[in-house]
Structure 1
Amino acid sequence: MRALEVTSFGAPDVLRLVERPDPRPRSGTVRVRIHATAVNPVDWWVRRGTMADRTPHLSFPFTLGFDIAGTVLDSADGFTAGQRVVGLYPWFVEGTGQGTNSEIIHADPRWLAPLPDAVDWATAATVPLNSLTARQSLDLLGLAPGATVLITGASGAVGSFAAQLAVADGAEVLAVASSGDEAYVSSLGVEHVLSRDEPHRLVEAIRKATPHGVDRVFDAALIGTPLLGAVRDGGGFVSAVEAVAPAPERGVTVVGVHAKPNSAQLADVIGRVAARDLHTRVAEVLPIAQGAQAHRRVEEGGFRGKLVLTF
């Protein structure tokens, strides 16, 4: 099988495409042949060594990748050989350095959900990590119908899922869109779309719309502490990355989210994607041999949607 390996911490050119033996069947898991996997910011953070403190026992070479979009090779635990599946690989929890940048992986069946035929491989690869981060963040916020929630980064993969899911949950959503992406965010069902601006100006705009502050904030754009002023006293704040979550004040509850595999939640989301009730964007699809190029482009930014690698 092919695998895109990280040979040392550093720039994208530390990535190498290699041939490795196909993994053998293993008790308690099913093997999945990966057809597509997204490149997420966390991938290049790990590759650069930014998150080395979370992986002290990791040795080189290793493979990255969180998003599973592929075909089951073994009939077991409710899945049949040849079945299309989508799933979230808990890369940090597993700690083996064997992610979805490998052509064949071992997966716990509890990580997986059936993939409807209506969803192509590339689209499916954009769903697991991003949608589960969004869903579980909203759950942490404990949104009640009619509650006001501010979602930053609503043009991005995580934020756009959060905006759509919050609207479906019955919340009143204020969403921050990148410049030029306001129409897209509005098309997701969001009534209050704010253009990205300096944090203090953004807080002023939010306070103008909701003088007492919003009930909840999901900070997918990682603005952090400057955004806390947008939340009412006693409200809630969830950061997509715990390390940049602000210190609590005024009774505001502040937590970071760590997305976990959840087959029921993923089955619900991918079903809504298949029905076109939820939308996701693919910026470009590249073969796994161009993995270094994909990482370079993700670091540079400036595109809309996810970059997807295919085998």
Structure 2
Amino acid sequence: MEPERIVETNAAGEERVGPVNAALTPRWAGPATFARLPRTDQVEHTDVAVVGVPFDSGVSYRPGARFGPNHVRESSRLLRPYNPAQNHSPFANLQVADAGDLVGNPFDIREAIESIEAGAKELMGEDTKIVAIGGDHTIALPLLRAAHSRHGKVALLHFDAHLDTWDTYFGAEYTHGTPFRRAFEEGIIDTDAVMHVGTRGPLYGTQDLEDDSRFGFEIVSSADVLRSGVDAVVEALRERVGDRPLYISLDIDVLDPAHAPGTGTPEAGGITSREVLEILRGLRGLDVVACDVVEVAPAYDHAELTGIAAAHVVYELLSLISLGADAAPDGPAYGISGARYGDAK
């Protein structure tokens, strides 16, 4: 039996089918789609598709991110339709739906990349934007290719403990540590508008940083977030991106292992879940065209900390897309202090 859903009418008078009504069907029951949203085959048109990419054959350390999409879906059951931090109801404004999974050959990385790219292009075919849940970071390359095919060169904000601009692992060009070097080589990212956020940890040598700079990347380290604060980081990101079409790629290991233990390559000294959510909220009004959230490995995720953090990240990304590029950059007043999130008082 199909549970009753929330149906709302947006400012243009269009009906949007939203999540299962939690007042009628308890949150632990009903379909395990992201935020209990409808599937794409249950709506006439999808403005934004949440899609899983359960592929992790590109990992260099701990496997398990192939189980990430469904873990994040299960962790999203407590999400609600209204986002008070943005004073916005993303599921009422645009039609958001769960598109299931894009699958790739787990024994052939090149073939898997081609399959994921083709699937993403098909999803984007009717002006649909996508938020992908991985899977390992290898999937960012085919998703970037798909975004490039529709929008041309895209700006890139890459949230990650690691650079992911290395050349090869064991002679392999396509791994979770190489997608953004390949994206640079293929000319699909705008090298005047690319930035890493939350980077930290040891490297193989100074050549790593030299190569990364040559590809156009600037770095906001986790220490920069600590010392400069969220507002300064947001200002730097907004200035770097400008009005370009923007791809956001977020490896959950950008968070400290205290906040996201369920990932394949954890690094100490990361940012908090509060900081990453505030940074994302600060990107309000940018032209976000596609996103991914990757490297959630549930086997290491005690107390569901990583899945919950990832689900909230996806929710904020959906809110950014729903708000659109015309949204005022300042968020709403919220809370007893009268300050928006991120304001120091």
Q: TM-score, normalised by structure 2?
A: 0.30
Answer 1 or 2: which has greater strand percent: 1
